[in-house]
Structure 1
Amino acid sequence: MPATAPPVSLTLPPLDRQLSPFTGLTREHWCAYADYLLRSAHRHATEDHANIHLPGANSAYGPRSDSLEAFARTFLLASFRMAGDPGGTGWIADWYARGLDAGTNPANPDRWPTPGELGQAKVEAASLAVGLALTRDMLWDKLPQRVQEQLIAWFETVIGEDYPPINWVWFQIVVESFLASVGGRYSDQDIDAGLAIHDSLYRSQGWFADGPERAFDHYVGWAFQVYPQLWELMAPGDPRVRARAQLDGDRLADFLDDAVHLVGANGAPLIQGRSLIYRFAAAAPFWTGELSGHTRLSPGVTRRAASGILDYFARRGAITEDGLLSIGWHGEFPGMKQSYSGAGSPYWAAKGMLGLALPADHRVWTAVEEPLPVEAGDTRRLIHAPGWQVDGTVADGVVRIRNHGTDHANAGVKVADSPLYARLGYSTATFPDLEPQSLDNAVVLMDSAGQTTHRTGFEYLGQQDLGGVLAGASRSTVNWISVDPDAGPDHGSGARGTATPGPEVTVVSLTRGAVELRLVRVRGVDPAQEAKLRIGGWPVDAASGIASTVRPVPGFGLRLDDAGTWRRDAPHPMGESLAIPWIGTSGVAGDGDYAAVVVLAGEEAAEAYAVRLVPGEGFGFPDGTVLTFAAALEFLSR
């Protein structure tokens, strides 16, 4: 184990409000953060630099895996830093050259486990291969032949290995492509099979699912969009690269058109999906667009998005006083740990620093920052593949999605709701309640014991822009789930268990800005289940400056005559307490239609939002927009 060196300090240059009027950050700030993260992590390295034993929890794979992970992921960051400034980063190359030797030396008792010995090493091998490819002149070409041969032998253990049919296929593709470039063995069959899986996971308009389920999250950007472009840089002469360059480039550009609408004015990326401890890795696809030339965003918007994301986390404790990245969102929050998470895992945030591979005179660094879409005006957008309707409001800078297409499952599956996938809403200002059974953006039936139903496995009914009001809908036979305590590791999906079916519930979200008119149709209630209806709003922290409200719509449907606020006075990833407002039935819910107005807005505005019935016309939104009854009820009756 290492003897920890003295701490290092972070020194940032002055903010530059002329070049970066929104964030003040320049390339020099990014370099300072990168060097600080690297030097701080290096303090925990073994004497031979092969393993970085960061303080904190171990993953399910143990300390040997976690120390390799910390080396590989910080090396990825180091490679971006070196590629963009080869003349000023010799100290980084020298430091990692020692570790690459010791980690792959078969005579070293503290060597790394190979990808053939440990599944997680397959992931980390990709970071090493990408980093070596990007810094070939600086590092690989200067390694002694013995070390090159050690690395080749270590990488070659991926050949013929099984990889799960998710974003992992890219780890094999980039490693074997690197092997091909340095005279190692590789398998065209492995690469072709990985590309086929990648294409099978493509859905539409730049969006991939991370596997055969409805799993849409940040992996779309930081994996499925980043690796094809890095692969093109690694293997420009490969005929497969040339054949699909335009296809992959167009997919990236399409994705970025959506992704830029999912960043809040505070710099926060959408808070949804697994592996959120990777934090500013969400900036990676923006940089990749500039790196590859496949983007329709201006360089000023690209840097605004990426710098905003970095700045959001840097200002909120993501980097500890010791210069490390903890498991959490803002500061450390152990409850965000998933089974594969160890102390080195958060350093996949390195992907978000890919822009450092671009030199200081690149247009993305010299252009003046421009506003994000949500800073330029209210935004409305439908994203079909994940079933999201996007509403951003310039008044508070918040981006919200209402979700009728994503649950990390498939239609008909009966499992508990995954907090990070199956909620009806996610935003850039609220963190989902991490308990699977919750009123967070929910429409649930609650039994006499206080147990609530789950919607996972729902049928996605589609989405549409109804003249400025966005509509999305889903339907499911909801289930009470008695979770199996031995349901398996947490990889994002909802927990499995015994399902007790409830009634059929259809939910329609009709949204304009901060306001959602949530229509609910319940069919097939069993009075013996004695279930009450609960419609829950957004989860907010008291100190957030954001307010969440839920109200009935007088005159429509069955009565919602009960209300309250669910509270948890305990830390969560964004604060110290959590509150979720709700309305519902005081007695047993009956078959019929219900309506609620669900609002997330700045505290000074939230109470003013309401939806009213306009006799003979439809539903009137606060800005005067009227949605006809026929248009609204068509979705409810699908």
Structure 2
Amino acid sequence: MTDELSPYTGWTRRHWAELADRLLLSARGHASPGHARISFPGRPGGYGSDVDGLEGFARTFLAAGFRVAGENGDDPLGLMDWYAKGLATGTDPNSPERWVRLDEHGQAKVEAASIALILHLTRPWLWDRLDPVVQEQIIGYLAPAVGSDYPPINWVWFQIVVEQFLASVGGPYEPGDIAAGLALTDGFARENGWYADGSERAYDHYAGWALQFYPLIWTEMAAGDPEADARRPVYLRRLEQYLQDAVHLVGGDGSPLIQGRSLTYRFAAAVPFWLGARSGLTSPSPGLLRRAASGIMRHFADHGAPDEDGLLSLGWHGEWRPIAQSYSGPGSPYWAAKGFLGLTLPADHPVWTAAEEPLPVERGDYQRVIAAPGWLVSGTRADGVVRVINHGTDHSVPGSNLTDSPLYARLAYSTATSPLLAGPHADQPLDQSVVLLDADGSPSHRTGFDTISLERLPTGTVTGASRWRAHWVEPGPEAPDHGSGRSGRVRLGPWVSVLSIVRGPWEVRLVRLTDGDERGRLRTDGDERGRLRVGGWPVPAGAACSLVRGLDVTGTVSAEDASPLAPWTDVPWCATSTAAREDIWYETALYLGPKDPAEPPVVTWDDPSSGRVTWPDGTTDTFDAPPPGGMTTSGPAPLPGS
């Protein structure tokens, strides 16, 4: 039956349930006597051990609740009784194990949403059986959400979920909070069902595991309310559109795209696929949704997450703390428990009874434009790798002149490579970058760029372009690392335009420099200011072939312990040997594949602004290079409901 139902992953609902149980039983060994805090091993996070213990409870509570809800209350492990004790202890203001309150620390607002969600999903088997005194304690613990300030990003949904639960159990709530939050989140909507995480160009896994998840969960919580019932079809349509893109971003080995913050949540990346099934979508099909979700889970399980003790560490596969943000603690990785959402669906649900279907990257090669985040996507069946060329995401806004976050502002990401996240090149762009080197050899940054174009050509080849002011930043005082760029004292350089033409494992990357003002000249007599350097794919040493060609100096940097994928990462680069010239197009070609390519693509110019690319497969594409002041495609978000 396993082979018939799961020919690609071998995973069935039983595998998911067994892993959830293992994770939950392992967590119990790190609980406080009253079960209120689960404090996993490791040094405390940036918010302290009190927050860490609350995270451990709330995030494992997600897995427990999903497990029992999907079994219609059947609970052989006694999960509800175990967590009921923790709820009573954590919300008791006189307990030495009491939780950090929502009005004491902002992180408690995040964890409160998980607690409220599971109390809703398991109401007949937990909330309704709690002592009234404990119910009042929980209401009192959650009540500070009412009227409170929440950051205008995905956090707004935490307030909505908590207040909706409070409303359902006769607690205090403010309809105006919910209405204002819904209106704010409408402004996150972008093209083709995508959401940005706030007003910035912040596109990452939060688009699925938070910004798609909470709207539909809220409509379940508020079912029967006219506002919720009217919004549900809009949210469903957005999810359906988003999933058409999302299934193209999963590698053949099950790896999610290694891009964006909070990657230590790992298999939470499976959430939007389970959400599609829970919401009754039939496109993508149930078999494809489960293939994507189970592929992601098996990818991590096969690479040691959870570990031999059944624990999740701060890391990607195994433990690797640099992947975490400064606020992350040992309980943080357990937001991965959101990935068990599929267990809320009973064994006879179509997502479990349908046979797995192949991922897009298993069916054949493709190139795809995803407009909202400004991504050109290329998947290749031969190696199962999905590549994203990035002309629209930097966790910032045009003209901001911040440092480049390696998680957002690199020119490309993939399911087989990780940006350099530790060591000198995390702050000084090397991999997947186009930079100018100043007199000291320091590379420029691109955050704050403009998106110029995104297009799919008749042959299937995809192209995109962006333009930015090269700048160097002397960062100000240390600020908490939330995965985005940093501000500071800025020196401006020339304008940099990049045109990407993408097909299969290749990207033709064309670069042009346009002089700035007197402070941003391309060269300074007697030093190396203004040398152009293009960085290639950062590959785990010996794992794949990455090369970049086209300029007159080439080399490879080997970085130690700079990525969660391997002890060493190799980054090829090419550069000009002298100061770069203005107003000409420099040609480079970047490759990521399983072996050395036989031949690269060839660029032929018909005139200074147009040319042709002939690819190794014989296809020829024509292109028009963007003018120096090319129009940007950046603009306002579509209207809510679009």
Same fold (TM over 0.5): yes
Of 371, 375, 380, 2:358 maps to: 371
Contact 1:288 1:354 in 2 (8 A): yes
Residue type of the partner of 1:608?
A
| Contact kept in structure 2, 1:217 and 1:274, CA below 8 Å | yes
Question: Cα distance, 1:105 vs. partner?
Answer: 1.1
User: For the structure 1 residues 394 and 635, does the alpha-carbon distance in structure 2 shift closer, same or farther, using more than 3 Å as the test?
Assistant: farther
Q: Is the Cα–Cα contact under 8 Å of residues 32 and 97 in structure 2 kept in the other structure?
A: no
Matched, 1:65 2:65: no
Determine the structure 1 residue equivalent to 2:101. 114
Summarize deviations over 1:400-445 as a string: whole Å, max 9, x none.
Answer: 0100010011000011100000000000000111102122111111
Can you give the 5+ residue segments of structure 2 that lack an aligned partner in the other structure? Answer: 516-520, 631-642
> For structure 1, which segment, 336-345 or 262-271, has the greater mean C-alpha deviation from structure 2 after superposition?
336-345
Aligned partner of 2:548 among 547, 550, 569: 550
Paired with 1:353 and 1:131, the residues of 2 have a C-alpha distance of 13
Q: Are 1:618 and 2:617 counterparts?
A: no
Give me the whole-angstrom Cα distance separating, in 2, the residues matched to 1:519 and 1:636.
Answer: 13
Amino acid at match of 2:538: P
The one-letter code of the counterpart of 1:362 is: H
Q: What residue is the counterpart of 1:588 in the other structure?
A: 579
- Could you tell me which of 124, 138, 150 is aligned with 2:125? 138
8 A contact 1:385–1:405 mirrored in 2: yes
> In structure 2, what is the Cα distance between the partners aligned to 1:526 and 1:465?
33
Q: Give the SS at the match of 1:570.
A: strand
Letter in 2 for 1:60: G
Letter aligned with residue 61 of structure 1: Y
Mapping of residues 98-497 of structure 1, within 5 Å: 98-434=85-421, 435-467=426-458, 468-484=460-476, 486-497=477-488
| Distance across 2 between alignment mates of 1:122 and 1:613 | 54
Given the superposition, is the C-alpha separation of residues 22 and 439 from structure 1 closer, same or farther in structure 2, using an over 3 Å criterion?
same
Q: Following the alignment from structure 1 to structure 2, what is the Cα–Cα distance between the partners of residues 256 and 636?
A: 36
Contact kept in structure 2, 1:473 and 1:635, CA below 8 Å: no
**Aligned counterpart in structure 2 of residue 608 of structure 1, from 598, 618, 625:** 598
SS of 1:346's partner is: helix
- Of residues 79, 86, 95, the one that matches 2:82 is 95
Deviation at 1:57, TM superposition (A): 2.7
Q: Helix, strand or coil for the counterpart of 1:137?
A: helix
Q: What displacement does 1:527 show?
A: 1.7
Give the Å deviation of 1:36.
0.6
- CA deviations 1:581-637 (Å, max 9, x no partner) are 01111111111210111011112xx42241114586722011111122xx2424777
User: How many Å apart are 1:176 and its aligned residue?
Assistant: 0.5
CA distance in 2, matches of 1:635, 1:216: 27
What is the Cα deviation at residue 337 of structure 1? 2.0
**Is the CA contact 1:487–1:496 (under 8 Å) kept in the aligned structure 2?**
no
- Once the 2 structures are TM-superposed, how far is the Cα of residue 507 of structure 1 from its aligned partner? 0.3
| CA positional deviation for 1:339 | 1.9
Instruction: Report the Cα distance in structure 1 between the residues aligned to 2:384 and 2:628, rounded to whole angstroms.
Output: 30
Deviations, residues 233-277 of structure 1 (Å, cap 9, x unaligned)? 212122221111111110111111110100000000111000000
Query: C-alpha separation between the residues in 2 aligned to 1:188 and 1:294?
Result: 30
**How much does 1:113 deviate?**
1.6
Corresponding residue of 1:5:
none
Cα offset for 1:295? Answer: 5.0
Structure 1 gaps of 5+ residues are 1-14, 553-559
Alpha-carbon offset, residue 500 of structure 1: 1.0
Deviation string, structure 1 residues 196-222 (Cα, Å, up to 9, x no partner): 111011111111111111111111101
* Partners of 2:605 and 2:470 in 1: CA distance: 33
Aligned partner of residue 171 in structure 1, secondary structure: helix
- Are the aligned partners of 1:473 and 1:636 in contact in 2 as well (CA < 8 Å)? no
Partner of residue 516, structure 1: 507
Aligned residues with identical type, % of pairs: 54
Aligned partner of residue 385 in structure 1, secondary structure? coil
Q: CA deviation at 1:90?
A: 5.4
| TM superposition shift of 1:95 | 0.7
Task: Check 1:444–1:626 CA distance in 2 against 1; reply closer, same or farther (3 A cut).
Answer: same
CA distance in 2, matches of 1:409, 1:228: 24
For residue 633 of structure 2, what is the aligned residue in structure 1? none
Query: How much has 1:336 moved relative to structure 2?
Result: 1.4
Aligned to 1:533: 532
Q: Cα RMSD over matched residues? A: 1.4
Q: 8 Å contact 2:55–2:332 — kept in the other structure?
A: yes
The answer on whether the counterparts of 1:568 and 1:578 sit within 8 Å (CA) in structure 2 is yes
| 3-state SS, counterpart of residue 623 of structure 1 | coil
Give the superposition deviation at 1:317.
1.7
Structure 2: how far apart are the matches of 1:406 and 1:482? 22
1:554-569 equivalences in 2 (<5 Å): 560-569=551-560
* CA-to-aligned-CA distance 1:363-402 (integer Å, 9 cap, x gap): 1011111100000011211111110011100011000010
> How much has 1:358 moved relative to structure 2?
0.3
Distance 2:351 2:363 in 1: 20
When structure 1 is superposed on structure 2, of 567-576 and 178-187 the one drifting more is: 567-576
- Residue 577 of structure 1 aligns to a residue whose secondary structure is strand
1:475 maps to amino acid: R
- TM-score calculated relative to the size of structure 2: 0.93
| 1:6 match | none
Contact 2:24 2:64 in 1 (8 A): yes
Given the two structures, how large is their TM-score scaled by the length of structure 1? 0.94
Letter in 1 for 2:594: G
CA gap 1:143/1:507 in 2 versus in 1, 3 angstroms: same
CA contact (8 A) 2:429 2:445 kept: no
SS of the equivalent of 1:32 reads helix
Letter in 2 for 1:533: L
Q: 1:39 is matched with which residue?
A: 25
Q: Which moved more, 1:83-92 or 1:351-360?
A: 83-92
- Cα pair distance change 1:609/1:47, threshold 3 Å: farther
SS in 1 for 2:464: strand
Contact 2:556–2:572 (CA under 8 A) maintained in structure 1: yes
Asked if the contact 2:8/2:291 (under 8 Å) is kept, the reply is yes
Match of 1:500 among 485, 491, 496: 491
What amino acid is the match of 1:443?
A: V
For 1:500-532, what per-residue CA distance to the aligned partner results, in whole angstroms no more than 9, with x for missing partners? 111111001100111100000111143216221
Number of paired residues? 611
Which secondary structure does the structure 2 equivalent of 1:208 belong to?
coil
Q: Is contact 1:270–1:426 with CA below 8 Å preserved after alignment?
A: yes
Rounded to whole Å, the distance in 2 between the matches of 1:571 and 1:466 is 36
**TM-superposed deviation, 1:293:** 1.4
The answer on whether the counterparts of 2:259 and 2:413 sit within 8 Å (CA) in structure 1 is yes
> In structure 2, what is the Cα distance between the partners aligned to 1:244 and 1:70?
33
Secondary structure of the corresponding residue to residue 585 of structure 2: strand
Secondary structure, aligned partner of 1:527: coil
Q: Is the 8 A contact 1:507 1:636 kept in 2?
A: no
> Any conservation in 1 of the 2:465–2:497 contact (CA below 8 Å)?
yes
Distance 2:474 2:241 in 1: 41
Question: Contact (CA 8 Å) 1:551, 1:596: kept in 2 or not?
Answer: yes
Distance 2:51 2:218 in 1: 25
